[in-house]
Every structure is written in C-alpha cells, then in structure tokens.
A and B are shown apart, each in its own frame.
Chain A
Amino acid sequence: MEQTLLDVENLSVQRPGAEVLRGVNLAVGYAEVHALLGLNGSGKTSLALALMGAEGYDAEEGRILFDGQDITRRSVTERAQLGLTLAWQNPARFEGLPVADYLALGMQDPSRERLEEALEAVALAPRAYLGRAVDNALSGGERKRIELAAVYAMRPRLAILDEPDSGVDVLCLEDVISLMRRMADEGTSVLLITHRDEMASMADRASLICAGAVVRSGTPDEVRDYFARRCRPHEDLLGSQPWGEEAGGTYQRVVAEGVCRE
C-alpha cells in the first residue's frame, strides 16, 4: 500500500439526534488532491469538522492517523500545529482584525512579501485588501478567498477545503483550481469537498460519501460516474427543498428507503 498522510479508520461521530459519520474509511496521500463528493447532508462537512477536531465532533469509534500519529483525541490547536488545517465553508468574520494579521497567524515567516504572495494566489490585489478587516464589509466571495489565502499562507501539510468554490463566481473557479494544484505542487495535501464536476476532475483521487459513510474511492472519473448513476436520482427525488438535519432528516429518510440500492 502507498504511504498516506491521512488515514481515517472506521470513524463514527454522533451528534444530538443523529449519527453523522458511520464507520468512515478514507486515505489521503502525500501532496495529493483528494476530492470528497456527496449530496447535501451526506456528512462531508461533518467529516471535515471531525478531522479538524471541532467541538461536538468527537469520535465515538475509530481513529484518525496523521502521518502515522493517532490524533483522534488531539485538540484543534494540536492538529493545526502538526500541519492540519481547515478552510470553513462559511468562514467566520472578525471585527477589527486586519487581513494582514489574519493571514500572518499561521505563518512561520509573515513577511510583507509572503502576505502579498498569499493574496495574489487567490487573485486579490494586496494593496486593496491587506489593510481591510476580516469583517462583514467583505463580500462572501472575498471572505472565502481570504480564507483560502490564509490556508495557503500557512503552508500546511494537509488543507481541508470545505466547498472552496461555493460563493465564488464561476469565472474565478480557475483561480481556485490553480491554487489547489499549486498547493499540491508545493507539498500540501488537499482534501477538497465539492459539488462541482470540474473541481473534482482536477483531483488525483476522489471519494464519495453517502449517509455518513464513504461508499466509493477511486479515480475522479470512477467516483463521478458512480455518483451520477446512484446519487443523481436523490436530487431528482428531493428537488430543491433543503436537506439534512435541518429539514428533519429528509436525506437520511431517502437513503433509508433504499433508493440507491444496487
């Protein structure tokens, strides 16, 4: 077996009223871009938060190995200090915290040059953004780019990017894709959570998560093909209504009723 940076073994996570992860197995290699696909409510963000060690996402069962070390019980800070980080789907806002200071938080050498490089990597003009605050005055798209810049600036060993493409205009998807490729080229592994085919296509490998379990891993083509055949019917069935826990477990009910069985 190839060496892996991240090994998730039989990971289960319970949230109030629902088991959001059920025996997840997942491996991400060194400097690999690994796409994680799945419908809304399938457990993608829950897995991201469990990997980062977020409060309320403790493992009931299973373990998380990071470069061979068991980090299952480690804190968010400890995981980050080992080189694991997360770009949230809807990043937090920080009143009064300048973008420059925010980018510098996880950097070894927060020189002006490195700060500018990080912003340029997400196609933001440094002069226009370094002095601004990471607050509500930023648009959703700007905030997401700054989040990606902060993760890139940190030079982590594994970056979990939770839907980096959502809220970013289509014309700029190419910027996001080239950033991930650049990160991988510079030695960072990327776990990319996405709904978009064109994003998944650029990955080295992909996995499909369904009802809290990884049901398929392989090349992006293999997984996307499986996704199209087995998961698209859910979208047809569910239409545009909200899914997941907030919708009373609609997604879980559909899965339980066996629409996707062989």
Chain B
Amino acid sequence: MLDAYEKAGGKPDVLRASRVASAVISASDVLAVNEIEGVTIKTQQQEHGVRARIVVAPGTKVEHPVHLCFGMTASEGLQQIDSQFDIGEGAEVGFLAHCTFPNAVELKHVMDAQIRVGPGATMRYREAHYHGSQGGIEVLPTTHAQVEEGGRLEIEFNLTEGRVGRMAIEFEADVAARGVAELVSKAYGSGDDDIRVNEVVRLNGEGARGLTKTRVAVRDRARSEITTTAEGNAPQARGHMDCTEIVRGRAEARNVPIVVVRDDRARVTHEAAIGSVGKKELETLMARGLDEEEAVDIIIRGMLRD
C-alpha cells in the first residue's frame, strides 16, 4: 500500500510523523490515524469502505498539510469512502490525498464528500491518483461544498499516472458572500478510458468568486466530456471557466460550458480550447530536435503538471 502511495507522489515517512495529521485507509480497513491539536479525524468502518469525519477547530492554522491515503491493493472489489470535512471559522488547512489502486482489474472507488468551509476559513485539498496499467477501475467521486462568507476552498484533482479507467467527477459548490471556490481537474486518458467531469459552482453571495480549470488529454480511443456550470446569482459575483482538452488519435473530447446569470451586476466568463496540439507549439519543440510524438508528450505533461 505504501509503495503504491509513494508512486502516487506521497511520502510514506510523513505518515509516521507525529506532527502531521494523517489517515491511511486500505479497502475498508483503517490502518492508521494521527490527530493533532485542532484536527480531529474520526473513522468508522462500513461494509465496503470507511466513513470519516474530519474537523478542524475554529481559528486553527494547520502548519503541515493533512495527509490522507486511500486505496486498495486488490485487483477487484469496491471501496466506498464517505467523508465529511468541517473547517471551522477562520481556520486554515491543507490536505494532500493520494488514492492508489495499483493492481485494479475490476475495481470501483466511490467517494462521497461533504465539505463545509466556515466563515473566513481556508481549505486547500489536492488529490492525486495512481492507477495501474490495466484500466479496470471506476472512480466516482461526488463532492458537495458549502463555502461560507469570506471562506476559501481550493480543490485540485489529478489523475495523470496510470490508466484512468472510467471516471465521473461530480462537484457542486455553493459560495456565500466574498467566498471563493476554485476547482482544478487534470486527467490523461488512453486506451478506452472514459472521463466525465460535471462541475457546478453557484455564486450566491455578493462578491463571491469561482473558477473551474480543467485540463484533459485523451488519446487512442479515450473519451472525455467536461460540463461546467457557473451561476452568477448575486451582485459582483465573478465566475470563470477555463477548459483545455487535447485530443490525439481516435479519441474524442467534448466541453459543455453553461453560464447562468441571475443578477445584472454579476459576470461569468468561459474559455475553452479543444483539439490537437497547436502547430506553432509543436514546431517550436521540434526545432529543438524532438520528434512529433516527443513534442506532444512534453506539451501534455506540462499542461497536466501539478
């Protein structure tokens, strides 16, 4: 499990450090939990996974990111993680989550996360996946986030190592006055991988801001469909959706941006670029001696880099 965690970019030593809050969950077993002052992590085993509640006390500034390690080393089965994150008023905390499924052949990973970012609080959550080369995995994360007044939520989801398999991200955020929600999703699909991302950011309070940034590359016969919705529902709400998808071979990419504005003082924008790698970018790298495939790979890796 820890080997796979390391391959996903995690540092096993950190999980043993007493000053770092952490939890390690393999299938439905909680292998380790470390709480620190101001951060409580309560877990409960369930039939096919674990229920976890993570609370950061109001005003707590967590120095080191909380490390979370989820995964399964088995080749088949179901892991269901139901999680609640409650970030108290004025608290600041980062999370580094690594999800590892190195041997997946017929495996399903379902996550259901409820997030509350309290008034003036900040939560940064980065999740990196490491899958094996088989592609026999379904990743189905669903998140609902409530960002309260002046709160800030940043989420980055990265699935660029190993095969994606089938992934469907569902994300919803409701943002109160002067709150911020930023969501970055990156994935690299190959073979017959199927990537679906559906993000909805509702900017409900005055001066609320939201950003969705999606970077997806698909090759072979892989498919991606990115649907992003930003709603400007209050004065001075500002939303932006930014999607880039690179398509190679017989792959297919779709982007559906939905802009909803319910207040004439709000503003929501979107930009999308879908298709092959730009000719000029390609030729610039080829003029350094790279062949076309190498150049494309460098461009895609750069775009998907953390």
Contacts and interface: CB of A to CB of B under 8 A. Distances in A.
A105 B288 contact: yes
Contact of B298 (A54, A86, A97): A97
A80 B281 contact: no
Contacts, number: 61
A95 B279 CA distance: 15
B302 A106 contact: no
A235 B37 CA distance: 73
Contact of B287 (A85, A95, A101, A133): A85
A92 B281 contact: yes
Interface string A71-86: 0000111011100011
B41 interface: no
Interface of A: 52, 54-55, 75-77, 79-81, 85-86, 88, 91-97, 101, 105-106, 133, 150, 154
A150 B284 CA distance: 11
A80 B288 contact: yes
Interface of B: 215, 244, 278-281, 283-292, 298-299, 301-305
Contact of A55 (B279, B281, B288): B279
B41 to A, nearest CB: 33
A76 B283 contact: yes
B283 A54 contact: yes
Contacts of A133: 302
B278 A80 contact: no
B186 to A, nearest CB: 10
A88 B280 contact: yes
Contact of A105 (B244, B279, B285): B285
A80 B302 contact: no
A77 B284 contact: no
B290 to A, nearest CB: 6
Nearest to A135: B302
A211 to B, nearest CB: 25
Contacts of A92: 278, 280-281, 284
B72 to A, nearest CB: 30
Given A77-B290, A105-B289, A96 B281 contact: no
Contacts of A77: 286, 289-292
A55 B302 contact: no
Nearest to A86: B287
A94 B288 contact: no
Contact of A80 (B279, B287, B304): B287
Contacts of B290: 77, 80, 105
A55, A91, A92, A150 — which one has the most chain B CB atoms within 10 A of its CB? A92
B243 to A, nearest CB: 13
Contacts of B299: 94, 97
A91 B304 contact: no
A255 B215 CA distance: 47
B287 A52 contact: yes
Nearest to A147: B284
Contacts of A79: 287
Contacts of A76: 283, 286-287
B289 A106 contact: yes
Given A55-B279, A77-B292, A88-B280, A96 B303 contact: yes
A95 B292 contact: no
A55 to B, nearest CB: 6
B288 A154 contact: yes
A52 B191 CA distance: 34
A182 B159 CA distance: 45
Contact of B302 (A85, A97, A154): A97
A52, A55, A75, A105 — which one has the most chain B CB atoms within 10 A of its CB? A105
Contacts of B302: 94-97, 133
